[in-house]
Structure 1
Amino acid sequence: MPWYGAAALMVGGLLALMVMGMPVAIAFLAINIVGVYIFMGGMVGIDQLIANATTSITSFALVPVPLFLIMGELLFHTGLALRVFNALDKCLGGIRGRLSYLTVAGGTIFATLSGSSMANTALLGTTMMPDMIKRGYKPYMIMGPILATGGLAMIIPPSSLAVLLGSLARIDVGGLLIAGLVPGLILAVMFIGLIRLQIALDPDSAPGYAAERAPAAEIARALLVDVAPMGIVVFAVVGLILLGWATPTESAAFGALAVIFLAAIYGELTWEAIYKSLRGTLVVTAMMLVIIVGSTTFSQILAFSGASQGLIAFATDFQLSPMMMLAMMFLIIMLLGMFMDQLSIMMLTLPIFMPLVGLYGFDPIWFGVIMLLGLELSLATPPFGLLLFVMVGVAPAGTTIGQVAWAALPYICCTLLLVLLLAVYPQIALWLPGLIRS
């Protein structure tokens, strides 16, 4: 079978199954069985499929994923994250748009603690939205900052998806985690600037109201008691990697221990919080591992059938410049994000993208950061952006996907601007990893 026939069968068949509504993991498994039967010799191929599937999830590099997830779950269910928001709230007083600014500031801090975009968005939606609605904020001033800041957890370390991307694409996981820190903080500053601009253009979007700033002593106490201790978690995850004292796996374990320690100190480490955290972590981790089983084997079949090599040769025949090729890859991620989840996008594109990264001489860490930003954008693109559904779930009854997507649009433009800056100035992402190496 020619390479384009194999590619049409595997990729086209997978997309067709997903369009029919088949769960992602089952769709991968079904098309893999067809693929190995055709390309790898019938039942012998099935045996090889099982062996490859086992190998794909027994990787030590995947250990940080459940550890980062349990960090976020514990922070949410023990109420430690809410303490951070309450402390920051005391600092802002009655400035116009206070709650929108608080969403970005608190959400960015929580992003450095949780590693999960879904957890970040759900936390911001449930804690910030009721008060913003009560105060008369317009819907786009409520949902836009929540959606945008929720997605920051995908790029700011610790990021579960960055660990998966690094593991699957054979990119230095520690370098990739650290590389997202500066772009993530720049993006947060862009969001604050955008909120300021929106308020200037439409003052009624965030009505002013009487809210006295807390006394200096109370602010200092809140920051010292509720915010400063979270630095232990940030140091355990980011600091240990920066100093070269721990691998990403070890830092994830220290981060989880730090959250457990803080929850115990605050008296919030209840059996109910532990149960809910473990249950949430188990559900998400199991889903990820099942998809990894199917999609890793999928990429192996693509390579075995010659489809991967054919697609790469086809792409390079166009003789595009490096920046045009990067733009094409980013556009593909965006388009796939309209219909697929982020893990599936990675599994589908990495077997084709990573050889092109080497061929065009892109720095793998820099490309990884750009890919994470593309995946972050895909979370907020209709019709199937995952964070859009999370937002609709926590929003008032009657809120539509269209309303949420429209609120997210200006923040999507901020992310696109950051991608452009990274393309022109790669050192924005590469400075910190280079500092560690030196």
Structure 2
Amino acid sequence: MASIARQFRYGTDLTVRAVSALTGGVSGAASIWIFCLMILICADIVGRSLLNAPVQGVSEIVSNSIVAIVFLQAAHTLMSGRMTRTDILIGGLEEDRPFSAAVIRLVFHFAGIGVFAVIAQGTWPKLVDAWVENEFFGAQGVFTAPVWPIKACLFAGSLLTCLAFATQVLKDVKEIVNHGRAEPLTVRHTVIRSPRGWPYIIAFGALIAIGYAVLLTDLSRIEIGVAAIVFMLLLIFSGAHIAVVLIVLSFLGIWLIRDNPNVAIRSLALAADGAINRYLFGVVPLFVLMGLIVDVADIGRDAYRVAAWMLQKIRGGLGIATVAANAVFASITGISIASAAVFSRVAVPQMVANGYNKRFALGVVAGSSVLGMLIPPSLLLIIYGVLAEQSVGALFLAAIVPGALLALVFAVGIYLMARFKPRMVMQSARPIRIEGETWKTALLKLLPIATLVVIVLGGIYSGFFTPTEAGAAGAAAAIAVALAKRTLTLARFWRVLVDTGLVSSAILLLIIAASMYSRMLTLSTIPQEVTVLFADAGLGLFGFTLIYLALVIVMGMILDSTSIMLILLPLSLPIVAGLGGDLIWFGIVTVIAVEIGLLTPPFGLTVYVVKATIADRNTTLGDIFIGTFPFVVMMSLVTLILTFAPSLSLVFE
């Protein structure tokens, strides 16, 4: 028996390594595909603007390529641990109760196999039809390309993701075997090690049993929708992959509402193939690529040094400089996590070395990094625009004043803390001096930053670029800057490409799942009924918005920003529209409220990024959360101002 167990563990390790190598190779090819799309879009821009000879079929190629890339990346996203989930429960169990964690994960991974198997099943007939009937996309006489290679990528990627989930099942079984095997007590005796965590397994089993009982109950449409929402939150909190949970419960909800499993299968196949088959979705990988390249180019470091040099004489000057540098960095990346990682390495050591309180330094970095998701170009605003079917350019314009207001409130708040509560800010009274900087060197460091801002935001606001084209042009310009500064090696570039693919795949899989979830909610009639409920209760738009914002902030304590939006917006957007709210304004207050969750315990993703980035092991998560508290208060104040003064978000409308 022991020999069989050893062989199983060895075989599992070998299988996992083989599948990881396979998925990594496929993912690498998809990452190169993203880079090729960037080149194609830039070639179209040059050809259109300089040669009056645009590249034909760019929009169609990008739209279809995004679908193929996501599914080719999905398996490696899972194998790399980048498929979005919350670690609140499962993370603690993995450390203290690995046996129970493995049992619970086993259920989640079987669900993943089921989801991608159904996608493959629904895609196969489409692949056969595309091959037999020689289907194409594009316009005859201008540009055409066969559809079947895209369908083949979707089908093969789904099967590969099933295989990746199967390897996770093997790892779970291996963990279970390891914690339930016999161990020698003496030379002649053995003892069976008692697995720990049975109460968690029993509670989880009860949850699944209740869910199965609900499936067998004759419920109304609204009851089915409510049950799906409740079980979704419970399963996500338990640690299931969020995209898988959304798809499974939406699938079951549509099945029960329509009383037809084939309708649910067709809905899932349609979501997988059509939810992200749009040119606009090219902005996701392209802006992620630009943000990661900007990080490699040390642009954040340059922005901070110039701001620190200019503000060193002001009370709390280095803290204000961190806010200013974050605002500049945000205007060319749109990713708050990148800001947190960069300025944890750059600003915290500089502030501590100049006598700043360490908690304050950490709080400033974590707090001001949220500007990355508000100041355009913002990845969250892009996602909101897609979900709400609103113009991304209009959202970027709407975010200018709120972004500037939030940065100003941060700066004023830091100055007031330094003036009236100096012990919160400084731990010594030593003078601050930033040496070696002149106006000439400062201008040289700001030049590439200004260039990227003009290319990305100037191109969008002038109407010269679409958001997707701005992402491609910005990524190409960032690569040129990094090469000119000699910070971009081949190894770094490959790492950036791989990370771009993994981040993009995780986000776009969530959008696919959200489209399925949105369809289920529409069929359940919950949004319509809730709109009527709020109208009859007399709470109105602002009453609903306050309740919604409170829910967003609470969910931010356990979920990441994208997941919160994908879960709540399909339910909330019809209600806001029904109550007469402006969806552009609603997007701005949503993004700020979502970002508050990045700073609040226990999840606080930005806080965890800062903790993982800094080198000091003596710094605790509690230290960082304490440091971010003033910024949570300031963000809450700005959120309330924007909620009751919608005109601030509509200045440039």
Larger gyration radius, structure 1 or structure 2: 2
Q: Which residue of 1 aligns with 2:637?
A: 417
Change (3 A) 1:9 1:245: same
* Counterparts of residues 10-409 of structure 1 (less than 5 Å): 10-40=228-258, 41-93=260-312, 95-204=314-423, 205-206=425-426, 207-212=428-433, 214=435, 218-395=437-614, 396-409=616-629
What percent of counterpart residues are identical? 29
CA contact (8 A) 1:36 1:49 kept: no
Deviation per CA, 1:167-225, whole angstroms, max 9, x where unpaired? 1111111010121122111111111111111112332432343444558xx42112221
For structure 1, which segment, 179-188 or 273-282, has the greater mean C-alpha deviation from structure 2 after superposition? 273-282
Deviation for aligned residue 1:139: 3.2
Deviation for aligned residue 1:376: 1.2
Amino acid at match of 1:244: G
Change (3 A) 1:94 1:306: closer
Which runs of 5 or more structure 2 residues have no equivalent in the other structure?
A: 1-218
**For residues 568 and 457 of structure 2, what CA distance do their matches in structure 1 show?**
28
CA contact (8 A) 1:120 1:153 kept: yes
Deviation for aligned residue 1:371: 0.9
Q: Which residue of 2 aligns with 1:5?
A: 223
* Counterparts of residues 416-435 of structure 1 (less than 5 Å): 416-432=636-652, 434=653
For structure 1, which segment, 47-56 or 295-304, has the greater mean C-alpha deviation from structure 2 after superposition? 47-56
Amino acid at match of 1:185: A
**For residues 164 and 362 of structure 1, what CA distance do their matches in structure 2 show?**
19
CA contact (8 A) 2:326 2:369 kept: yes
Change (3 A) 1:212 1:184: same
CA contact (8 A) 2:255 2:261 kept: yes
Deviation per CA, 1:314-373, whole angstroms, max 9, x where unpaired? 333322132212212211211221222222211222122211222222222111111111
Aligned Cα RMSD in Å? 2.0
Deviation per CA, 1:218-267, whole angstroms, max 9, x where unpaired? 42112221112311111111112222222222222221122122223333
**For residues 574 and 246 of structure 2, what CA distance do their matches in structure 1 show?**
22
**For residues 430 and 278 of structure 2, what CA distance do their matches in structure 1 show?**
54
Change (3 A) 1:130 1:67: same
CA contact (8 A) 2:316 2:418 kept: yes
Deviation for aligned residue 1:34: 2.3
Which runs of 5 or more structure 1 residues have no equivalent in the other structure?
A: none
SS at match of 2:558: coil
**For residues 627 and 312 of structure 2, what CA distance do their matches in structure 1 show?**
25
Amino acid at match of 2:230: G
**For residues 379 and 213 of structure 1, what CA distance do their matches in structure 2 show?**
31
TM-score, length-normalised on structure 2?
Answer: 0.63
**For residues 199 and 332 of structure 1, what CA distance do their matches in structure 2 show?**
33
Change (3 A) 1:20 1:420: closer
CA contact (8 A) 1:6 1:302 kept: no
Q: Number of residue pairs matched?
A: 431
SS at match of 1:158: coil
CA contact (8 A) 1:155 1:162 kept: yes
Amino acid at match of 1:348: I
